[in-house]
Amino acid sequence: MYSIPSAPTPPASKPTYDEIIAAYLHQVHSVNITPVSTSTGPSRATNALMGLAGGPLATGINAALTHQTKGAALQEWTTWKIFAIQKPDFQDFMKNHIQEFDALISDYDERLAIYREKMRSPEVIAAIKLKEKRDRESTVTFLGFIGLILATALLIIIIAG
């Protein structure tokens, strides 16, 4: 029997500019930092929980602390980002990083084309039809078994009743 091939796994999404900067800092300068979004406010869920737990005062304190913490992280990220962008080897690193991703996409496209070709072969089509037939038979058997159990339970209820 012929086996059904598995679809190739696509590569992760294209890296963002900030992700490339973080990779550059990590690989070239041994700096471990995560990009920070520009949103420095607390989440709505956190505010709702603080409002329930301690009222408006707790919500206000939470907002202030969140702004302070996220603001400091944003300032640190911005400093490292400027540091990385100003380095002469950053542009080459970024080009290489993007080329590596493009190569992954190209490889995936080739593997996907091979997969699609295999899926059109008569052997695979026959294997798929056989699997579908077995799945249908399993479903019918299972439903028949469930029907038998229900009929038995109904019979017991009628006899006992």
Mean per-residue pLDDT over the chain, rounded: 84
Task: Give pLDDT, residue 66.
Answer: 66
pLDDT band at 48 (very low <50, low <70, confident <90, very high): low
Task: Give pLDDT, residue 15.
Answer: 92
Q: Please, are residues 34 and 22 in contact by the beta-carbon 8 Å criterion?
A: yes
Closest by CA to 35, choosing from 84, 105, 88, 90, is: 84
Task: Give pLDDT, residue 96.
Answer: 96
Residues 63-103 pLDDT 10s? 666 666 777 888 899 999 999 999 999 999 999 999 999 99
Task: Give pLDDT, residue 17.
Answer: 93
Task: Give pLDDT, residue 107.
Answer: 96
Query: How much is the CA Rg of the chain, to the nearest whole Å?
Result: 29
Q: Please, are residues 15 and 101 in contact by the beta-carbon 8 Å criterion?
A: yes
Per-residue pLDDT at 51 exceeds 70: no
Residue 8 has, within 13 A of its CA and on its CB side, a CA count of 18
Task: Give pLDDT, residue 46.
Answer: 59
| Domain boundary assignment for the chain | 12-90, 125-161
What would the DSSP string read from start to end of 19-67? HHHHHHHHHHH--------S--SPPHHHHHHHHHHHHHHHHHHHHHHHH
